[in-house]
Structure 1
Amino acid sequence: MSTTSNGSALCPDPFVPVEPAPAGSGFFLTGDRAIGIESGSVNLFVAPFDARTGQAVGTGLPIAEVEAGQLLFPVPVRFERDGTCHRLLAMPLPGTELRQSRAPWTDLVRRHEDACRPFDQFVSLLLTPFHRDMPPPRTRVITASDLESRGEFSWPAGTPFRPGQGVLWIQLHSGFCLLNGDEEQLLLAEGAAFPLVPQTWFLATDPAAVSARRTPDWLAAPDFPARFEAVFRQYLRAVLVAVAFRTQRRQRRRNLLIRHEHDVVRGVTARLRGLLQDAPSPAGPMESLGAISPDLAVIRRIARACGSTADLPVIPIESPPHPDAMSRRLEHANLFHRRIRLAGPWWKEEGPPLIAFRTDDRRPVALVHQRGQWWAFDPAEGEDRPLAPETAAAFEASALCVYPRLPSTPVRLRDVLKLAFRGLAPDLRTALGVGLLGGLVALTPSRITSTLFNTIIPTADSFQLFQMAVLLFSAAFAAALFELSRSLFMLRVKTRANDQLQAAVWGRLLNLPAGFFSRFSAGDLAQRVMGVDAMRAMLADHVSLAAMALLFALPNLGLMLYYNRVLAGAGLLILLLYAALLAAIGALQYVNQREEYHRDGRLSGFALQAITGMAKIRMSISENRAFAKWARLFAEKVEWKSRSIRNRNTLAVLGSVFPAAAMGLFFLLIGTRWKGAGLNTGDYLAFHAAFTALAAAFTGFAAVIPSLLATVALYKRLEPVLDAAPEINDSQKSPGDMDGNVEMRNVTFRYHPDLPPVLRDITLHAAPGEFIAIVGPSGAGKSTIARLLLGLETPESGGIYYGGIDLATVNRRELRQKIGTVLQSGHLLQASIYDNIAGASGMSMDDAWEAARLAGCDADIRAMPMGMHTLVTNSAVSGGQRQRLLIARALARHPRIILFDEATSALDNETQARVADRLERLNATRIVIAHRLSTIQRADRIYVLDAGRIVQTGPFDELLRQPGLFHRLAQRQQL
């Protein structure tokens, strides 16, 4: 409110002419005149001075800055303590110009209603030091309708309450109340009064009876001067007490951080000393660094077990750890997890890393399965210890199962393999060792064949023949055992690798920005991600077995060289020629597989779209066109699949011809005197047996080349998911407890660099507890603003801030969890009503009913056959019921910020009014995007958007009186 405009509103001009403020000199807010700030600004302090001499002592406590256009009101009250008085001091900045009111300020605000608003602004600024503590989610809000119907309230003990809008003067008739629920700020006793703004609140410590008044009603009381003096004496005392306690807490925190820094340095020093002594501590450096907080230390241990290097904060947590807090910490560390139940002798079975909680004090413990047993890391002990059955029995049944993740940077093949085989090195070494032993045992038949035909059969030695038979049987039995052992170890490897990799890839997909998903259809993207399982099946079930069989058959090459180097060289030559032929066919096969998967992805994407949009296809009578498009995509897929089948048939023919061609070559060489001389029958048969084993392994590997090439094609299809940068990375910080302050500064946005901007230089602001609305014609950019506020899109220029923190620097997933959102494209899950409201939050049934009550759908739910357990879908409820269920879901977590985009468009006026009344009582900032203007009549501020620009701003009634777009929109809706 500018004093110049006030001059016209309060005619005749109630202020004296402008006078420049003396530079560098402050003044106490005494006397009885109001002071208007014409230009510049004034800083307010609670200044100490000596009660006897009047000289300033110490430094003043900053309160707020009063800007041009606002008024200063006298506060002729001082608070004395230990010979020092404190009172409000105004310190004008250089260049500030002031005007003083002609009449006392009490006459000014009583005679002119327009003066009450700057007085409320002044009181709100004085309460700035108490704006730092946020009201609890279930704070009772005193609305304008409450003040009209009743001004007296009775609150049960433990009830927090605050005003919905503006300044309310609270008079306590009985009981006690704590300002901001903190005894270190102000305890309001019976008979006392104190102002509240939406950013402050009272907590009734006992059953309390209070009265609430607006400023005009409070000023009209006959005992106003005495009330005024008592209120601001309490105010000065509360400011000093709050600052004193804040200083003590800051000092305690500083001392705590110093002690923690010493602990960190001591832990790192011990780690370095252990490295020099070649005896590192079992817990590793991460636990020593994280020992300042039990839950952070546990997460660090789990992150190390999962191969993650999450940049976790080292600030200690003061509240006691519990499963929900641990879940939030894991989300901040970008580690996916789920809640499981520990039942039976679970410690006897293998499993992924777990976070369990002790039954006695709910202290978290990290559980990692290594070296064939479970190991427990307790932050109190600082090291891994084997998990004993009695220790396992002392854990709560509910635990958190943590999954590994891929790096936040673009992922390469080595990263994928490193994650897939993490912790599997012992199993792989065992499988390779057992397979190698089996390969050596497989040489036995070749050697026995040579002995049989060279020695035993010519001499007709039946006893040696029996011995050879027993030896062959033993070798076959040993080879079978080795193969069984190898298969079991490989089964463990491929199962664990698949679990780790599949979870990590899905976690990667869920972390990608929203813009990524517009590049692919849902069916195509699902096939790309599920290709991980197909790759695992091909590699583990076919390629790995064939490759290991070839590796273990290589000792036969040594046996071939032992018997005849010429034949061995010929065998190697034909194998190399066969390999070159396979490589040529494989290159063609790779192209075929790649195109086949590409067509299959497009076909799956279209099929999913057609099934989900079947109602639209039938309404537009487009069945024939849909079938024609499906048939074309299916024909393209079959064409490339046929080419792949022909290549596989060619490989099969070559595989059957190869052994006969190799044998013919050997016969040709043996039949030539100058090359085949000196090779007897037994040696040739032994050579042939060794070559047959090697050739069988080689042709077996050739048979799986199509599978190997298919995995390459599948990995190429997966590369866009791995190369895309996630929207969440380790450098982002948690948004913390949000205060409800939202701001967009000079935001410009376009969906594509070649397209014109959708939004141009958008600036808007919502203070905590405010209700702002965004209106405009279709295509103006309203929904784009919602997507930007949710972090689903990134602005081209400008910034978005929550509580003063740049959206680009915070974890957007955590941020969206703290915002109650209903978008115009929202859908219900095919699940029960409770599951639709609660989601994965695990809230109680009572909390779900409370959310349904706030959304105005509790009566409809009770009328359903199974209440909260009724199964619903989008088509099973009306549009209004769907929107109210979506509103209930948004309100279930008691968010500090509510964002509605056409959330009540399907509601009738009466239901919409009920929902609006309940939303007004919530302790949350509301941002509503609507076409229907009746939805936003109660908004504190309305932003009118047109062609991507804000063209009007103001309250509903003010905009309605002004000519412009809003007035035209209102006229159209009134017709």
Structure 2
Amino acid sequence: MSAVGEVTRAALRARRAELCRLAGWSVAEALPAGLAGLLTARAVDDGFLAGRPATGLLWLGLLAAAVLVGAVGTNRAYALLGDVVEPFRDDLLRRVVAGALAGATGGRGDDAAVARLTHQVEMVRDTYAGLLMVVRGFLFAAGAAVVGLFSLAAPVALLVTVPVLAGLGLFAAALPAMIARQRQYVLADERLGRAAVTAVAGHRDVTVSGARDRTTRWVGGYVDDQARVERRLATMAATRGLTLAVGGWVPVPVVLLATPWLVRQGLGPGAVLGALIYVVRGVQPALHTLVQGVAAGGLRFAVTLDRLLRADVPVRTPAPATARIPRQTAPALSLRGVTFRYGPHADPVLDGLDLDVPAGDHLVIVGASGIGKSTLAGLMAGVLSPQAGTVRVGGVPVAGATPAELADRRVLIPQEAYVFTGTVRENLTYLRPDLPDPAITRAATRLGLTGLVDRLGGYDATLRPADLSAGERQQLALLRAWLSPAPLMILDEATCHLDPATEARLEEAFADRPGTLVVIAHRVSSALRARRVLLLDGRAALLDSHRGLLDRSAAYRELVGYGEADLLRSSPTPGRSAPLPAGYGRRSSP
């Protein structure tokens, strides 16, 4: 349960200002509890019993004013509660969703995640709010009553404090058993959630196979288990009753039995009455609220939050914003004997392809529509698995790598860029959640996208994908990729909705970024900016510089256009003109 305490303390530390304001209004709320006995004693002893009713009424008038101040304090305290509780709930939701998505993409689907998201997070939020108000109320109300008792008569305060502390000790001793039974209840709730989801998801099979009664009994068993655990949890009410009896009710007869002695010590009837008011209207209700609140909401809070944290997955720590991509000794990307077909009897899209992309390279892949360029991009990124051969990124096979491991090595931006409903900052930094705004601004400036960010309303503006154009979505995705710590960028027609000038600016910026760039070309002009060009023409995969392919390949000259070929042949292009080794590909149908 140490994680529960750590997370709770962190949440409270993050809301210090709100807690300070809450404490201030709690002092105002506790004012009647602190003054009730003292003002009543003065009204009785110095006013009514002394034959001065006006004085007695004056003291009671002061008590009425204190009650009004306390009412205002209560109102303001509850108004501030949401400022403390809701950010904690939002953080829990992010944890649960991130854990569920990470488990699902890693092949660890968990039906209980639905119960955690829809039931347990809300339970933690509600119990956190209740526990905060209960502990706050006890500390200020009981504290005010004890201070009032000591100011009225120290002997009475000592007589009351001893049984109160004894009752709290009994309650503390019973807490471990209460926590254990509450944990059993939460686990039974999750098991019932899994069983219910399984039964509902397979209801057609259940109906067809005639297993309705058997399935009902199976789910009913989990319902009975949960009911049994809940009944055991309810038996802890006896412990709570004993705590309240010792700490809340014993002080009353103790004060009454000690009254003759207190009067002999010079304590007036009004002071004894005031002491009883402090016990009955201050200490007793505060203790009752604390015990009931902790035993009910507090236990649910601790156990449910512990369960949520155990189900959570550790968050990857991204590389620092200023870190540069380290130099790699192995190729940034390597394919050996890669064969891929979309069906067991289909012709291969790629057949025995060998390809090395050195670290720091800028490779553009071109070819006719439907020739297999996007398929190759998916294989490079580990999104698709070849039927034969191996794909390595940074010397490490992509086969068997988890999504988190792949995200550390490469970024794939497809033609249809993904943008989700959320803030601009959340869309840009979900691969690096701790990235500060200045780093984002520097990247946006380098890519020439500060105007887009400003037009969308800044980093805190909420995006709705339907409100964005395809080009805006692509530019956001490209900025997100730039901010990624991955050394390999794969852009699969990621600029197809942009004008040629914007496309050129962005590709040139990515070419200057430390790391390796692979571009599936939407326009052949991308080849002019590349160090090397890979041509897929349905019969062979040729790898060379742009000028070298113009000299070697009729298919490439046809792709760029006969009229442009002579002009492009004389244009300066990056890279080497000497032919480089290439693998082979074959596809008989588009």
TM-score by length of 2: 0.56
Judge conservation of contact 1:744–1:800 (CA < 8 Å) in 2. Answer: no
> Does the CA contact (< 8 Å) of 2:334 and 2:392 recur in 1?
no
Task: Say whether residues 1:818 and 2:414 are aligned partners.
Answer: yes
Q: 2:3, 2:306 within 8 Å by CA — same for their partners in 1? A: no
Residue 494 (structure 1) aligns with: 85
Cα offset for 1:602? 1.6
Q: Is 1:725–2:314 an aligned residue pair?
A: yes
Alpha-carbon separation, structure 1, partners of 2:317 and 2:392: 16
> Who is 1:56 aligned against?
none
**Equivalent pair of 1:561/1:568 in contact (CA under 8 Å):** yes
Residue 584 of structure 1, CA deviation = 3.1
> Structure 1 495/528 Cα, relative in aligned 2: closer, same or farther at 3 Å?
closer
Q: Relative contact order (C-alpha < 8 Å, sep 6+): which is higher?
A: 2
CA distance in 2, matches of 1:807, 1:588: 41
1:628, CA displacement in angstroms? 2.1
Once the two structures are superposed, what CA deviation does each residue of 1:96-124 show, in whole Å capped at 9, x if it has no partner? xxxxxxxxxxxxxxxxxxxxxxxxxxxxx
Question: Equivalent pairs: percent with the same residue?
Answer: 13
Answering whether residue 49 of structure 2 is matched by residue 458 of structure 1, we say yes
1:586 maps to 2:175: yes
Q: 1:646 to 1:505 in 2, by over 3 A?
A: same
Separation in structure 2 between the aligned mates of residue 623 and residue 815 of structure 1, nearest angstrom: 47
SS at match of 1:459: coil
Q: In 1, Cα distance between the equivalents of 2:471 and 2:208?
A: 42
Does the 8 A contact of 2:43 with 2:57 survive in 1? Answer: no
Aligned counterpart, 2:396: 799
Q: C-alpha separation between the residues in 1 aligned to 2:11 and 2:415?
A: 34
The structural deviation recorded for 1:526 is 4.3
* CA distance 1:495–1:643, change in 2 (3 Å): same
> Would you say 1:468 and 2:54 are equivalent positions?
no
Go from structure 1 to structure 2 and tell me whether the alpha carbon gap of 1:810 and 1:614 turns closer, same or farther (over 3 Å shift).
closer
1:618 Cα deviation after fit: 2.6
| CA displacement at 1:954 relative to structure 2 | 7.2
Question: Residue 771 of structure 1: which of 364, 368, 372 is its match?
Answer: 372
How many Å separate the matches in 1 of 2:181 and 2:254? Answer: 34
Candidates 74, 89, 97, aligned match of 1:483: 74
1:824-843 Cα offsets, whole Å, 9 max, x none, are: xxxxxxxxxxxxxxx94766
Find the counterpart in structure 2 of residue 430 from structure 1. Answer: 21
1:536 to 125, 128, 131: 125
Partner residue of 1:697? Answer: 286
Unaligned runs of 5+ in 2: 326-331, 339-351, 357-364, 418-463, 474-490, 497-519, 525-536, 542-582
Whether the 8 Å contact between 1:421 and 1:497 is mirrored in structure 2 is no
Alignment of 1:715-864 (within 5 A): 715-722=305-312, 724-726=313-315, 729-730=318-319, 743=334, 765=354, 768-769=365-366, 771=372, 786=383, 799-800=396-397, 811=407, 815-818=411-414, 840=465, 844=469
Distance in 1 separating the partners of 2:219 and 2:155: 59
Aligned mates of 1:746, 1:592 — CA distance in 2: 58
Matched residue, 2:545: none
Q: 1:614 to 1:472 in 2, by over 3 A?
A: same
Asked if residue 552 in structure 1 is aligned to residue 158 in structure 2, the reply is no
Correspondence 1:629-644 to 2 at 5 A: 629-644=218-233
Bigger share in strand: 1
Residue 470 of structure 1 deviates from its aligned partner by 2.2
Tell me by how many angstroms 1:480 deviates: 0.9
Query: Does the CA contact (< 8 Å) of 1:522 and 1:608 recur in 2?
Result: yes
Contact persistence 1:435–1:483 (CA under 8 A)? yes
Give the direction of change, closer, same or farther, for the CA distance of 1:600–1:691 in structure 2 (3 Å limit).
same
Which residue number corresponds to residue 418 of structure 1? 10
- In 1, Cα distance between the equivalents of 2:194 and 2:128? 26
Q: Distance in 1 between matches of 2:119 and 2:409?
A: 24
CA distance in 1, matches of 2:112, 2:538: 44
Q: Cα 1:940–1:595, aligned 2, differ >3 Å: closer, same or farther?
A: farther
Question: What is the identity, as a one-letter code, of the residue corresponding to 1:688?
Answer: L
Structure 1 residues 846, 611: closer, same or farther in 2, change over 3 A? farther
Query: Per the alignment, do residues 688 and 893 of structure 1 end up closer, same or farther by CA in structure 2, a change over 3 Å counting?
Result: farther
CA contact (8 A) 1:596 1:640 kept: yes
**Within 5 A, what are the aligned runs for 1:134-149?**
none
Alignment of 1:505-654 (within 5 A): 505-506=95-96, 508-509=98-99, 512=102, 514=104, 518=108, 521-524=110-113, 526-527=115-116, 531-540=120-129, 542-553=130-141, 554-648=143-237, 650-652=239-241, 654=243
CA distance in 2, matches of 1:940, 1:425: 66
Query: Do the aligned partners of 1:442 and 1:475 also contact (CA within 8 Å) in 2?
Result: no
Q: Alpha carbon RMSD of aligned pairs, Å?
A: 4.8
Aligned ranges for residues 230-249 of structure 1 at < 5 Å?
Answer: none
Q: Distance in 2 between matches of 1:534 and 1:486?
A: 21
Paired residue secondary structure (2:135): helix
Map Cα deviations across residues 699-742 of structure 1 (whole Å, 9 max, x no partner).
211111121111110111112344x333573459999xxxxx96
Q: How many angstroms apart in 2 are the aligned matches of 1:734 and 1:616?
A: 54
**How far did 1:417 drift?**
4.6
Which of the residues 260, 263, 273 maps onto 1:685? 273
- TM-score after normalising by structure 1: 0.36
- TM-aligned CA deviation for residue 596 of structure 1: 0.8
Cα offsets for 1:899-951 (capped at 9, x unmatched): xxxxxxxxxxxxxxxxxxxxx99789xxxxxxxxxxxx96869xxxxxxxxxx
Distance 1:808 1:601, change over 3 A: closer
| Cα shift at 1:590 | 0.9
Letter in 2 for 1:815: V
**1:815 alignment partner, SS class:** strand
Contact persistence 1:549–1:697 (CA under 8 A):
yes
Alignment deviations for residues 371-419 of structure 1 (CA, whole Å, 9 cap, x no partner): xxxxxxxxxxxxxxxxxxxxxxxxxxxxxxxxxxxxxxx9885456535
Map 1:349-428 → 2, pairs under 5 A? 414=6, 417-418=9-10, 422=14, 424-428=15-19
Equivalent residue runs for 1:444-455 within 5 Å = 444-455=35-46
Report what 1:927 is aligned to.
Answer: none
C-alpha separation in 1, matches of 2:34 and 2:131: 23
Mapped contact 1:435–1:552 kept (Cα < 8 A): yes
Q: CA deviation at 1:601?
A: 0.9
CA contact (8 A) 2:149 2:157 kept: yes
Aligned residue identity for 1:560: L
Give the drift of 1:471.
Answer: 1.8
CA distance 1:448–1:567, shift in 2 (3 Å): closer
**One-letter amino acid matched to 2:185:** E
Post-superposition shift, 1:432? 0.4
Secondary structure of 2:191 counterpart: helix
SS in 1 for 2:236: helix
Code of the residue aligned with 1:703 in structure 2: it is Q
Report which of the two structures shows the higher radius of gyration computed on alpha carbons: 1
Residue 463 of structure 1: how far off its partner (Å):
1.7
Residue type at the aligned position of 1:493? V
Distance 1:551 1:587, change over 3 A: same
For residues 42-441 of structure 1, the aligned pairs below 5 Å read 414=6, 417-418=9-10, 422=14, 424-441=15-32
Assess if the C-alpha contact under 8 Å between 1:772 and 1:939 holds in 2.
no
Shift of 1:569: 2.4
Structure-1 separation of matches of 2:254 and 2:240: 21
- The answer to whether the aligner puts 1:661 opposite 2:250 as a matched pair is yes
- Distance in 2 between the 1:842 and 1:809 partners? 33
For residues 462 and 800 of structure 1, the distance between their equivalents in structure 2, rounded to whole angstroms, comes to: 92
